[in-house]
């Protein structure tokens, strides 16, 4: 990982959102599951639902139809 890699990722995401392209957080990398939504990031930005057992779960459903906010991007 480069020293400024996180900053570069945020800048790229912000640039895409400004162009009207939605982004969702993923785990990144090349490992199995790397392209799955990043559950902790979704929960931290409030993208959640409560399942039938009353457990808080991550959800990227809203990001399928709405652009992420600056808060969602961590800016």
pLDDT of residue 1: 56
In a domain, 75, yes or no: no
In a domain, 73, yes or no: no
Which residues are 74's β-sheet partners?
Answer: none
In a domain, 51, yes or no: yes
Whether the Cβ atoms of residue 17 and residue 73 lie closer than 8 Å to each other: yes
Contacts of 60 (CB under 8 A, 6+ apart): 24, 37, 42, 47
Supply the range of the domain harboring residue 41.
5-68
In a domain, 74, yes or no: no
In a domain, 28, yes or no: yes
Ordered per-residue pLDDT tens for the chain, 75 residues:
567 777 888 888 889 999 999 888 887 777 777 778 888 888 888 889 999 999 999 998 888 888 988 777 775
Number of domains present in the structure of the chain: 1
pTM, 2 dp: 0.68
In a domain, 12, yes or no: yes
In a domain, 37, yes or no: yes
Whether the Cβ atoms of residue 75 and residue 14 lie closer than 8 Å to each other: yes
Distance (Å, whole) CA 42 – CA 63: 10
In a domain, 17, yes or no: yes
């Amino acid at each position: 990982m480069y020293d400024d890699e996180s900053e570069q990722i945020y800048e790229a995401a912000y640039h895409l959102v400004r162009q009207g392209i939605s982004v969702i957080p993923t785990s990144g990398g090349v490992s199995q599951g790397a392209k799955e939504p990043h559950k902790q990031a979704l929960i931290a930005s409030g993208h959640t639902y409560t399942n039938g057992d009353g457990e808080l779960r991550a959800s990227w459903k809203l990001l399928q139809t709405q652009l992420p906010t600056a808060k969602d991007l961590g800016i």
